[in-house]
Amino acid sequence: MSRVVLGVGGGIAAYKAADLLRKLTEAGSDVTVVPTAAALEFVGAPTWAALSHHPVAADVWTGAADVPHVRLGREADLVVVAPATADLMARAAHGLADDLLTNTLLTARCPVLFVPAMHTEMWELPATVENVATLRRRGAVVLEPASGRLTGSDTGKGRLPEPAEIARLAELLLLRGDALPCDLVGRHVVVSAGGTREAVDPVRFLGNASSGKQGYALAAVAAARGARVTLISANAELPDPAAVDVVRVTSAVELAEAVTKAAEDADAVVMAAAVADFRPATSAGYKIKKTDAQPAPIALEKNPDVLAGLVAASRPGQVLVGFAAETGDESGTVLEHGRAKLARKGCDLLVVNAVGDGLAFGQPDNAAVILGADGSETEVPLGPKALLAAAVWDAVSALFARP
């Protein structure tokens, strides 16, 4: 069982941390909550104790015989601080330790995840910017806050990301056993996700079973690694990842236009969307009525090959990643089809995963082999889709590092 310390800072978003605590415990982690004194003004100790099944203290004197200010950090597999206030991050960045949480941060030798929540002006303050940069430089993962409604009537950047998104990232850090590198800072990456729909008439379409979960995981992990992320989302019914610019499209043609535009200044493009190969040659302007006669055949025409177009227009140093959802057949295995597609497309990396029979589409987990144009093959075993996303960005980052 993983041991997690959940640090709770003194912000109004502390109430969301109760939901995060439940998600962490339901995932099988043993969670000890360490609030600041200010956090207890928002959510009381009995709530944290009841949900975590552990006693709760904010000071270093309670239970001093067990030396909690040293023991908690040493024994933790992960420390999550949510919400992380500007004051709390400032104290952590400067190595101050005036309560149990900051002492725990000093002694932690595991991955540390800060999830900021504050007003926009506080987040953009130069002092906060420098403190965040310091924490990241020292190996901590500091998420970008979400945008939206803040305290009162204010809106802007500074919302706590949704607890489910934080929990997924916490799971990823526990599985990896180390912090995510901030190796995408200053990079713009484009990710496509979901499945396109090709209209037959105003109410019917040709589509596929892609949920968009893998693409959304790629976007969220890239943002956690410091990238500026544009997510081209095709019909995915998922909440927007924090700090990600989302462009919504429906058809393959719309997706091609959006990806091509976003790719103009992108350092990497990851085509995780399931793009329809064909569309109806004509789309009726009215609902086709059901009659006793056999329906007319639907004539199809090819959609643009988005990945091939990106390869043709690519710039030196730009990394292009394709996805291949494959099934084996009499002509070859999943990997054989994937290798052929990589050679045909000419991209830098191709992520090959088997689909069908409850695999990949709509599932929380995925397994794949990442094929490189250099002949490399990296197998990623079955696990949460964020784990595959991290492996993809590891491979992309390695290509950025090429001389």
Catalytic: which of 103, 208, 353, 366?
Answer: 208
Residues 267, 187 contacting (CB under 8 angstroms): yes
Q: 100-107 vs 86-93: helix axis angle to the nearest 10?
A: 40
Average pLDDT for consecutive 10-residue bins of the chain (403 residues)? Answer: 96 96 97 97 96 90 70 94 98 96 96 96 97 96 92 87 96 92 95 96 92 96 96 96 96 97 97 95 90 87 95 95 85 87 95 75 88 95 95 97 82
Cα dist from 148 to 41, 58, 117, whole Å? 24, 30, 11
* Domain assignments of the chain as residue spans, ordered by start: 3-176, 188-400
d(CA 399, CA 271): 17
Asked if the 188-400 domain carries CATH number 3.30.300.90, the reply is: no
Q: Of the candidates 251, 280, 346, which has an alpha carbon nearest to the alpha carbon of residue 307?
A: 346
Look at residue 67 in the predicted model and tell me its pLDDT.
63
Cα dihedral 231/79/365/208 (nearest 10): -20
> Whose structure tokens read 């949460």?
384
Distance CA 273, CA 192 (A): 5
Asked about 208 being catalytic, the answer comes back as yes
Spatial CB neighbours of 209, under 8 Å, sequence gap ≥ 6: 195, 274, 361, 362
Bridging pattern class, strands 365-372 and 377-384: antiparallel
323 strand-pairing partners: 351
Distances (CA, A) of 177 to 26, 43, 60: 20, 30, 27
- Confirm or reject CATH 3.40.50.1950 for domain 3-176, answering yes or no: yes
Given this model, what pLDDT does residue 173 score?
97
The whole-angstrom separation of Cα 219 and Cα 242 is: 9
Which residue in 40, 46, 45, 35 sits closest to 7, CA to CA? 35
